[in-house]
Amino acid sequence: MNRAHPAFLSVQTLLPLLAVLLLTLAPHAAHLPLWESAGIAGLLLWRAHAARRHWPLPPGAVKTALTLLAVIGVVVSFRGRLSGQYAGTALLCAMAALKLLELKQRRDVMVLLFLMYFLVLTHFLFNQDLWTLAYLLACVIGTTAVLIQSHHSTALSLRYALKTSTRMVIQALPLMVLLFVLFPRIPGPLWGLPNDAGAARSGLSDDMSPGDISSLINSDEVAFRVRFKDRVPPPSARYWRGPVLDQFDGRRWHARTQQPFAQAIPEITLHGTPLYYTITLEPQRSRWLLALDMPEAESIPADAQLAASATLLAKNPVIDRRRYTLGSSPDYRLDAARAPAPALVALPPNLNPRTRAFAQQLRAQYASDVDLVNAALQHFRSEPFYYTLRPPLLGRNSVDEFLFDTRRGFCEHYASAMTVLMRAAGIAARVVTGYQGAERNALGDYWIVRQSDAHAWVEVWLAQRGWVRIDPTAAVAPERIESGLESALGLGERLPRHLLARTPWQHYIAVRWDWVNAQWNAAVLGYGPELQQAFLRRFGLDDLRRMLLALTLSMTAVLTILGLWILYRQQKPAVQDRAARLWQRLQKRLARAGFTAQPHEGAQDFILRVNRARPQWADALTDALQAYQACRYGTLDPAQGDDDPAQLLRALRAALDKATSSVG
């Protein structure tokens, strides 16, 4: 029968191991199936209880059955997958927890500990912010402390193991920084993209239905940051163009399949002085590069191009943080000389009859498209429409119900209704999605656009002017454009916490924390091939061979210095030397009292002789002798108790002070 905890794995070592494993696995709970999180928690609790009660480990058949169940569960939960970002991580977490059931030898503990190191690394597949780094650094220190404990045959003080682990991690930091700076960078994330990289991520989409954009209001994730070069556009011009949706099935709007790069060229005429800005776009796993209307061709990155819908597209999906600089002119003409395709006036048949009738009524009153558009906007202004996060559900004729019955909706409701109304009146129209607005960070002098700034508006095609932006939301709730979402919603709306008014102290902290994150993103997470080459070029390391040579020499120098330092410490044991100096002080005090140590006398014989002559000093001198022997001749192994070398020295100093006082 297997023992629950072998001699080398005491309860004092197993419990810290379980605690650190829990610390390592806890953040993954957000990505694991509920059954797996519950199963891991149950295994941890059972293993701790079994160690305290000295229960045997389960037999091999039970472990095999649990392993098969875990594998089958992962396959079913992730639709037949065992690899990839989510399925692979779930499998690793399950295997780490099941490994607790077979910790019979030291090598089993080693396997689990090194698996825990790898699990720490997997957290960066999901999040790379500063909080994650600090948390995972604590996981590394804890795992290393357990590794140190597992290499001692006797119980080692956890405090001492943590101190040693922390010291080791700090000593490794210079080498880590050196490798980070000099090791050749590869494009994209270090881990590459698994097959499930297209997993859901909050943000814009290439389709839209009522409720899609309003659901993003709950997210305070940063979509991108912007730094303007000379001037900042007014709020009414801060429309960040994203996907253009031009196909309608009666409820959802879809984007047409983008044309090949070489064919997707809109006709754009720019006027006025361009406004220059730099965008740092967060990973979004799509090709859209957000931009103000309308980018000048000279500023568009080499690996990007304007699609026929005037959306800026990258050649490849944005899978890591990307920075690009654009120049945009708010005064432009888009496809003014190119008549729109008939599909941009098409609507599904037999839907929304009241909207069609209202459109024909407007057409009968206004022969001019411009006048008709203005009349439609005036209808939104004058009628009792409401801007709300919680609109009622809509049925089959969703636009009819919104325009004439509920009259309550978010930006996607107004954009969809306006586009359908324009098409029903014979005017080409399409929905444009993106972001509207930005929040300034005064500390870093940049602007933040969050997912909660997602917005939808309309473009209509007018003769001699081309595609023109109109925003029915601005007609109903102009505060949304000028002052932000929180100013446009009614008093009864329940806003997400990040949109509630902040106290001055909360604003102070938020601004500085975002600035720290921006610096972290730029200097560390954004340290790719281009930044590395620019940095190393300052030191003359502009080619790969020089960089590898510098890396080799630097690592050799660091390892040499580290080795010499270790040899120095081994040749001069600090604890023993300090103990000897303290003992010499007591010998000098005793010499002044008439007791001099003879050359042939050791410390113990000397103190025994003094004790026989001065019994009143015996207790204090004996305590001092024992403390000195523990430091000078003892094992100095903290496993002998809760003491570490620093504590032994403190005990010796206290005992010697007491003995010196007794001697007088």
Catalytic residue numbers, as ranges: 411, 455, 471
Helices marked H in 572-602:
574-592
Instruction: Please list, in sequence order, all residues whose beta carbon lies within 8 angstroms of the beta carbon of residue 408, skipping any fewer than 6 positions away.
Output: 385, 386, 388, 391, 392, 402
**SS3 of the chain: helix, strand, coil, percent, to 5:** 55, 15, 35
Strand partners, 326: 277
Strand partners, 333: 269
Backbone angles phi, psi at 104, to 5 degrees: -100, -25
Residues in the chain: 664
Catalogue the long-range contacts made by 135-138 (C-beta closer than 8 Å, 24 or more residues apart): 135/27, 137/169, 138/23
Contact 369, 222 (CB under 8 A): no
**Token pair 């009859």: residue:** 353
Residue 291 and residue 314: Cα distance in Å, rounded?
12
Instruction: Please list, in sequence order, all residues whose beta carbon lies within 8 angstroms of the beta carbon of residue 369, skipping any fewer than 6 positions away.
Output: 427, 460, 462, 463
Residue 395 and residue 351: Cα distance in Å, rounded?
11
What number of CA atoms fall less than 13 Å from residue 51's CA on the CB side?
23
CB count within 10 Å of CB 16 equals 19
Return the amino acid letter for 202: S
Residue 187 and residue 189: Cα distance in Å, rounded?
7
Closest C-alpha to 257, from 299, 309, 303: 309
Residue 272 and residue 583: Cα distance in Å, rounded?
86
Strands 275-281 and 322-328: antiparallel
**Token pair 């100013």: residue:** 487
**Token pair 């000593």: residue:** 171
Backbone angles phi, psi at 588, to 5 degrees: -65, -40
Three-class SS state of 326: strand
What DSSP string runs through 75-131? HHHTTT-SSSHHHHHHHHHHHHHHGGGG--SHHHHHHHHHHHHHHHHHGGGT--SHH
Residue 586 and residue 592: Cα distance in Å, rounded?
10
Contact 518, 444 (CB under 8 A): yes
Backbone angles phi, psi at 318, to 5 degrees: -85, 100
For residue 549 the two structure tokens come to: 């040579």
545-566: buried (b, 16+ CB within 10 Å) or exposed (e) per residue? eebeebbeebeeeeeeeeeeee
Residue 320 and residue 185: Cα distance in Å, rounded?
14
Contact 446, 225 (CB under 8 A): yes
Residue 456 and residue 206: Cα distance in Å, rounded?
12
